[in-house]
Chain A
Amino acid sequence: MYNKIKLTLVSLLSVILISSASFARDLVITFDDMNPGPKAAFENAIAKFQKENPDINVIANNGDREEHKAAIRNFLIADAPDVTSWYPGNRMRPFVKAGLFEDVSDVWDANNFHEDLAAIKPTMTIGGRQWGVPYSYYQWGVYYRKDIFDELGLFEPNTWVQFKYVCDKLKENGITPITIGTKYLWTAAGVFDYINLRTNGYKVHNDLTAGKIKYTDPRIKKTFEYWAELVNAGYFLENHSSMSWQDAVVPFANGEAAMYVMGNFSVDAYKNAGLSYDQIDFFPFPKITPGVPRAEEAPADAFFIPTNAKNKRDAKKWLAFVARPDVQTEWNKTIGQLPINSKAQVADDKFIKQGFETLNSAAGLAQFYDRDAVAEMAAAGMEGFQEFMMKPDRLDKILKRLDKIQAKVYK
């Protein structure tokens, strides 16, 4: 009888031990980039994390970016994953305010991120606490067809006048100076941001996106006047409003267009379209108003933990993992972007190196219009930019409308 009890206890114990040993905790990570490079980088990182953590069962979901943006609001409330990709700055603000993102300042404390991720920290901070961990950021600027420039004897323009000269020469030779695809409106915002940063500087740009300056302000109008010089001269690709940014790569690749105001993620697309590194090069957006300190666009991508997540403990492990120097080096090398950890290595790629220099010497880093401005303002603003590019004579009407919306949104 006594033996029987012992036997039962032992078997019970062993069953418990075995089951807990083989019981892997689930970790659901949702990502949103299906472009070949980022997809591969994500999958590699997942594999590495899985190997280092055999007791965690990683379930990785990758979906279409546009859909992710629409779906996030639903899944943060119901059926939340443990980790989700999203954007910092004003884009994370509504979720932080609604209490849907977890405060992860403890992850920052535990991993010395305050020091190693110092440059990007302000973007991840609201109310003195950190709400996510970034894994990459990238420069924006002007990518151009070096071979076409060389053929026509052109040089990298440094000032506005030089820029217009280059555009003019290209147009004379039957080449569209600047390609762009504004079907998904944010590409036009990139152009606006840069012209505004160069015309008025970092502080004025931030004041605008924070709703402190009107769109009809004479300084902002000046930005549009410069932009109009390009639009009216026909320097942009025709029919851009029905093309996505990927569609607009086609003329760039086959030599019909020579410049592209884009982020560094586009280099992958150029390579896939058949261009070689000798054919493409990069220069930072030219100066416009002399004396204005050079600020750059450097949007960051990050991971967040929903407050409705089931497995926050392991989710925090993932956050610490992605910002680790070795993971950073690897990941950013694959996607051709910059690591956010100052201890990581920058890839030996001419664009990355140049990007690194450009951003390190910048007087300020903007997060991109649709992340710096409140969502509803961003939507209206970007539509306004697209409309302006197609009908520049409507500028006054557009600016007045943007003011009206700004007053409503920022009240």
Chain B
Amino acid sequence: MFPKPIHTFPLKFQLMYKIVLPIVLIIWLLPLIAIFLTSVRSAADINTGNVFGWPSQFLLIENYSEVFRRSKAILYLKNSFLITIPTVILSVSLACLAGYALAIYRFRWALPLFFIFVAGNFIPFQILMIPVRDMSVSTGLYNTISGQVLFHAAFQTGFCTFFMRNFIKALPFELIESGRIEGVGEAKIFLFIVLPLVRPALAALAVLIFTFVWNDFFWATVLTQGESVKPITAGVRSLNGQYVNNWHLVSAASLCAAIPPVVMFFLMQKHFIAGLTLGSIKQ
């Protein structure tokens, strides 16, 4: 293991390491800590300029409930859920199907198609911005939840397909073969043999896509107007305009916006990390 395992070092170094670790962590998370402190600050502190110092009062409940009372934060959060969850379901399903096809069948277009999906994941959003917006407007999907879901699902399909294809490829092919020999139809092979095996990958993918879509800001601003279907990322920005000098409320709202992906992350850590690395590194 590299670097040398700490317990082979003299006790002095072990102790130093154990002390330095939390210190480094605090420095690393300093911006986050500062925001949290600001979110529990009172308005008086802000107006006298004490924005980053130690708060004079701790108004945790008051500030957070005020955010929900005074602004549309609940609506934004609801929209974020309404957009993110269907997107995850849709893109993961599409990707399973496509990934399966690209992994199992060998035909001339398999590799090029695969590359197109991969490349599509990396292109700059801006090249899509105007046509997608116009298309949404002309099909009446502009400023709707479903418009955003459809777009995000389509865009994430690139990454998801790449991911599932690699994972399915690593499965033993004998399972498929034996299924075919027994005369099981292709659809049944997919549903009953392959799908159960890829469950861990599905979990990892779902968590990743949830994070990506929840945290998206660009498309939220391009595909929505007004408050009704705005998700929380774009909502935080308009809160900043509304409460220009109410840093404590904006901090609280920003942290609320960050909570669901964080919760997802902690609950599914193993899957999350497996997802990020498994999809990219071929062992």
Contact = CB atoms under 8 A, between A and B. Distances in A.
Do any CB atoms of chain A lie under 8 A from CB atoms of chain B in the complex?
yes
Interface of A: 30, 34, 61, 63-67, 70-71, 74-75, 77-79, 244, 246-247, 250, 273-274
B238 interface: yes
A74 to B, nearest CB: 5
Nearest to A246: B244
A34 B137 contact: no
A63 B227 CA distance: 7
B245 A246 contact: yes
Nearest to B139: A78
Contacts of B78: none
B53 interface: no
B241 A65 contact: yes
Most buried by A among B137, B227, B241: B241
Sort A-B residue pairs by CB-CB distance and give the 6 closest, nearest first: A71-B225, A78-B137, A246-B244, A64-B238, A64-B241, A34-B242
Given A78-B137, A79-B143, A71 B244 contact: no
B195 to A, nearest CB: 40
Interface in B201-240: 221, 225-227, 238
A167 to B, nearest CB: 25
Interface residues of B, number: 17
A64 B242 contact: yes
Contacts of A247: 244-245
A74 B133 contact: yes
Contacts of B47: 250, 273-274
A78 B137 CA distance: 6
Interface of B: 47, 49, 133, 137-138, 140, 142-143, 221, 225-227, 238, 241-242, 244-245
Contacts of A65: 241
Contacts of B244: 244, 246-247
Contacts of B242: 34, 64
A30 B228 CA distance: 13
B5 to A, nearest CB: 48
Given A67-B241, A77-B137, 18 more contacts: A34-B241, A63-B226, A63-B227, A63-B238, A64-B238, A64-B241, A67-B221, A67-B225, A71-B225, A74-B137, A74-B143, A75-B226, A78-B137, A78-B142, A78-B143, A79-B225, A246-B245, A273-B47
Contacts of B245: 246-247, 250
Contacts of A77: 137
Contacts of B143: 74-75, 78-79
A244 B244 CA distance: 9
Given A61-B226, A63-B227, A74 B241 contact: no
Contacts of B49: 250
A30 B226 contact: yes
Contacts of A34: 241-242
A61 B230 CA distance: 14
A24 B96 CA distance: 49
Most buried by B among A63, A74, A75, A274: A74
Nearest to A250: B245
A408 B242 CA distance: 36
Contacts of B226: 30, 61, 63, 71, 75
Contacts of A78: 137-138, 140, 142-143
A244 B143 CA distance: 29
Nearest to B241: A64
